[in-house]
Structure 1
Amino acid sequence: RALFIFWRAHVDLGLNWSPSLEIREKHELITKGIYKLIRHPMYASQWLWVIAQPLLLQNWVAGFLNLLIFIPFYFLRVQAEEKMMLDSFGEEYKNYMQKTGGVIPKF
């Protein structure tokens, strides 16, 4: 499921996808596909991988180390990304934030 979520996010973003935090020329706010449910599906898929690793690896220490490394990265990156999106899309992004969850859908 994690790999499917990651793939689906890439497909839905299309040319807007970037490995770095940047707003490209003609960048648009994507709110369709998996982005209709959550704002950060790639991070959701990474959470699934990181949580599954300690359960799947024979070495629990290595599995939990991945989790400890990922947690601060996640919070720093998402905070910067949310600020960038708010600066770029303003009220439209605020409305989108109210309708969707970050990595877990709002029901």
Structure 2
Amino acid sequence: MTFFKIAYWLGLFVEMGVRAPLRKTWKSSVKVDSRVSATEKILLGLLSVFMFFLPLVYALTPWLDFANYTLPGWMGWAGVVILAGALFVFIRAHRDLKANWSPSLEIFQEHSLVTGGIYGLIRHPMYASQWLWVIAQILLLQNWLAGPLDLVFFIPFYFLRVRAEEKMMLDTFGESYRAYMRQTGGVLPRLR
């Protein structure tokens, strides 16, 4: 089980490393539209608790041991594979977005509609990555508090955020985004 905890943390550090250079660009970008709701801020705060802080307590202390569960070893290894898939999609999404990346619902002065790379298949690869992540977390962190709770809070966040993001993109890019929506799936490729 220790290996699975280490795999989880390595994945988290990879995600932080991918975002670090983009945060600098994001901070210096001129924002022309921002649509972050109070509900979204609360859910994001809860997600950081259940993706980072509770797993940290679980990994470094025995305080959450009362909530441990045990899965067969192959399920932990499946979690490693799913986590690798989440990281692949996450890295690819950031590479394709470049300076258009934002941690929240924002449009920049030089914002462009990205429809190439992984965005040629799905509109929301970062959320696809997060879906994979929360499944992997359940398999890697075998604790009822450090494992599944991230999924519980990700579900409402996902539906709130995607609805608001698609409205913002339609308001900003109009028919171009509408056509893009017809060609691509949300978090899974559209079957043609």
Query: What TM-score, normalized by structure 1, do the two folds share?
Result: 0.94
Q: Which residue of 1 is the match for residue 186 of structure 2?
A: 102
Residue in structure 1 matching 2:143, options 53, 59, 63: 59
In the TM superposition, what is the alpha-carbon distance from 1:102 to its structure 2 partner? 0.5
* Distance in 1, Cα, partners of 2:106 & 2:154: 21
Q: Give, as a single letter, the amino acid of the residue that structure 2 aligns with 1:49.
A: W
Secondary structure at 1:63 match in 2: coil
Q: Which residue of 2 is the match for residue 87 of structure 1?
A: 171
Q: Give, as a single letter, the amino acid of the residue that structure 2 aligns with 1:51.
A: I
- Report whether the alignment pairs 1:43 with 2:110: no
In the TM superposition, what is the alpha-carbon distance from 1:61 to its structure 2 partner? 4.8
Q: Give, as a single letter, the amino acid of the residue that structure 1 aligns with 2:116.
A: K
Query: What TM-score, normalized by structure 2, do the two folds share?
Result: 0.54
Gaps of 5+ in 2: 1-84
In the TM superposition, what is the alpha-carbon distance from 1:57 to its structure 2 partner? 2.0
- Report whether the alignment pairs 1:9 with 2:93: yes
Q: Which residue of 2 is the match for residue 76 of structure 1?
A: 160
Secondary structure at 2:108 match in 1: coil
Q: Give, as a single letter, the amino acid of the residue that structure 2 aligns with 1:96.
A: Y
Bigger shift: residues 97-106 or 49-58: 49-58
* Distance in 2, Cα, partners of 1:61 & 1:71: 16
Secondary structure at 1:62 match in 2: coil
Task: Say which one has the larger Rg.
Answer: 2
* Distance in 1, Cα, partners of 2:141 & 2:98: 33
Alignment RMSD? 1.1
Bigger shift: residues 56-65 or 84-93: 56-65
Gaps of 5+ in 1: none
* Distance in 1, Cα, partners of 2:145 & 2:103: 28
For residues 20-39 of structure 1, what are the alpha-carbon distances to aligned partners after superposition, in whole Å with 9 as ceiling and x for unaligned? 21111121110000000000
The sequence identity of aligned pairs, in percent, is 73
